[in-house]
Amino acid sequence: MSTEKLLSASSISLLGFGLCLFLCVHATAGEDGQTVPGAGHLVKKGERQPIISTGFGEVSGVRVSDGNETFNIHLITLEPNSLFLPVMLHQDMVFYVHTGSGNLSYRDENKRENTTIRRGDVFRLGSGSVFFIQSDVGLERQKLRIYAIFGNAGEDLREPTEYGPYSSIRDLVLGFDKKILQETFKVPEEVIEEITSGRKPEAIVRGLPGTQEKTIREREYQFIEAVFGSTSIFSIFETSNKDKKKSKKFNIFQEKPDFENCNGWSTTVTRKKYSVLKGSKYGLFMVNLTRGGMMGPHWNPEATEIAVVLQGKGMVRVVCPSLPNKAECKNARFGVEEGDIFAVQRFHPMAQMAFNNETLVFVGFSTSTENNHPQYLAGKASVLRTLDKHILAASFGINETTFDRLDNGGRD
C-alpha cells in the first residue's frame, strides 16, 4: 500500500515542519496554560484535582469541557506492588495503560475475569462493574499509570453527577446502620461494632504478597461473585455477547499504525477493530509526532476529541468556526506538555505539532467509536492546488495575481 493511499484512506496527514514553527511556537510560549473559551480547552497537569493520595498511589481528576459537554477523566497511578481496592463503576469506563503493568480483576458477562494489563492496553469496563487492580512489582519498578474516561453512550454530560464515577465497596456496605448490618450478616453486635469503628482504609494500599497471588486471586473472584450474585450486571457487555470472537483487550502497540511516515504515526481504535467498544460512548486514538512533526490542519465532523499528552512538548492550534462575516469566536493557540489534557469540539479545525527539539505523543478519547473521517486541508487534497481560480479568489478575497503566485507555489 502506498503512502499516498494511506493518506487518503486514513485521512491522516503528517507533514514535515521546519524551523519556522519552532520560532512561532517559541514566540507564544508565554500564553501556555490558558483555557480559551469557545475554541479548544486546556487543563494543565498542575490543575488536576487530587482525589486519592496514599503512599501506594494516587488518583487525580480532570473535568474538561469542549464548550458543550464536560468530560470526566481520572489519572490513576499505582506504585509497584500496590492494590487499588475494589470499587463499583456507576458509568462506563474506557481506559488506556500508559506505563507499567499489573493485574485487573473484574466481572464481565456474569463471569469472573482476570487479566494482565500493560503499557498500550485499551480496555472498557461497563457501568455496574466491580473491579480492582494490583500493580506488578516488575523488574523496572515502573509505576502503573492509567488514563480513564467515564460516561455512557447517549448520556447527557452537561451536568455531571455530584458523586464520582465509582464508589468504594466498603462505603457501599458500611453506609448502612450497624443494626441492619448485624441483621444482614448475622454476626454478634460487637463484631459489627469493631468493623464500623475501624479506621477507613486508604483506597490504594500495599499489594498482596506475590507468593499467595494465585490463591488470593481465586478468592477475590469469589468475593466479587459473592457480592454481586450470579445475575449479570453487565448488560452492555451482554448485548455484545453475540460477538464471540471479540478480544477483551486491545494493545495499541501491537497494531500496525493507520498511518506512518518519517514525521510520526497515528492509530485509531474503533469498534470495528476492538468489538468491546460497541455501545461505548468513546473510541480511542494515539498520535506520535517526531521532532518538528505536525498533524496537519484538519477537523473532525463527527466527534469531540479529548487528548492526554503522554510525552514531549508541542503546540495546539484550534480555529473557532463561526458564521460567515462574523468573527466573535476567538481562535486558540496553546502549548502542551506531558500530562496536559485538551479537548477540541467537533467541527473545530485544529493542528497539533511537536516542537523542533521534542517529540509529541498523545492518546485521545473520541466521542465516537467509528472512524471519525477527519477532514484535512492539505496534502493531495490541498485547496490551493485544485480550487478554481475564480472561486478561490472570491472565497479568499485575494486578487488573481496573488492567486497565480500561490498557485505556482502550491502546484510545484
Quote the CA–CA distance of 146 and 165 in Å, as a whole number: 15
List 162, 214, 245, 254, residue binding a copy of itself (CB under 8 A): 162
The residue type of 296 is G
Query: Which of 33, 120, 172, 261 is the binder for a copy of itself (CB under 8 A)?
Result: 172
Beta bridge partners of 315: 335, 353
In the complex, the smallest distance separating the C-beta of residue 18 from a copy of itself, rounded to whole angstroms, is: 6
Contact 265, 143 (CB under 8 A): no
The phi-psi region of residue 45 (left if phi > 0; otherwise alpha if psi is between -120 and 50; otherwise beta) is alpha
| Structure-block grid coordinates of residue 292 | 518538528
SS3 at position 249: coil
Tell me the window of 258-266, 269-277, 278-286, 299-307 that interacts with a copy of itself (CB under 8 A). 299-307
Q: Is 6 in the site for a copy of itself (CB under 8 A)?
A: no
Q: Which residue has the cell 456507576?
A: 90
202 binds a copy of itself (CB under 8 A): yes
Is 387 near a copy of itself (CB under 8 A)? yes
Binding residues among 37-96 for a copy of itself as defined by CB under 8 A: 38, 51-52, 59, 67-68, 83, 85-88, 90
Helix/strand/coil percent split, the chain, to 5: 25, 35, 40
Of 18-26, 93-101, 136-144, 270-278, the window that binds a copy of itself (rule: CB under 8 A) is 18-26
Q: How far is the CB of 148 from a copy of itself (least distance, A)?
A: 13
C-alpha cell at 356: 523542533
Determine, following the binding rule CB under 8 A, whether residue 373 of this chain makes contact with a copy of itself: yes
In the complex, minimum distance from the CB of residue 240 to a copy of itself, in angstroms, rounded to a whole number: 17
Smallest gap from residue 263 Cβ to a copy of itself (A): 11
Q: 313 phi and psi, to 5 degrees?
A: -140, 150
DSSP strand E in 142-245: where?
144-150, 166-168, 204-206
When binding is defined by CB under 8 A, the residue of 3, 29, 201, 247 that contacts a copy of itself is 201
Please tell me the distance from the alpha carbon of residue 101 to that of residue 228, in angstroms, as a whole number.
27
From the CB of 133, what's the least distance to a copy of itself, in Å? 12
Q: What is the nearest approach in angstroms of a copy of itself to the Cβ of residue 233?
A: 5
Cell of 261: 511516515
Q: Give dist(CA 258, CA 264) in Å, integer.
A: 11
Q: Which of residues 320-339 bind a copy of itself (CB under 8 A)?
A: 320-327, 329, 331, 333
CA-wise closest residue to 18 among 401, 386, 353: 353
| 337 sits in which H/E element | strand 332-337
3-state DSSP assignment of residue 42: strand
Minimum CB–partner distance for residue 191 and a copy of itself (Å): 5
111 binds a copy of itself (CB under 8 A): no
Among 45, 63, 169, 260, binds a copy of itself (CB under 8 A): 169
Q: Based on CB atoms, which residue is closest to a copy of itself, 120 or 406?
A: 406
Site string for a copy of itself, 127-156 (x = CB under 8 A): xx---x-----------------------x
The interface with a copy of itself within residues 217-256 (CB under 8 A) comprises 219-220, 222-223, 225-233, 235
| Cβ-contact 146, 82 below 8 angstroms | no
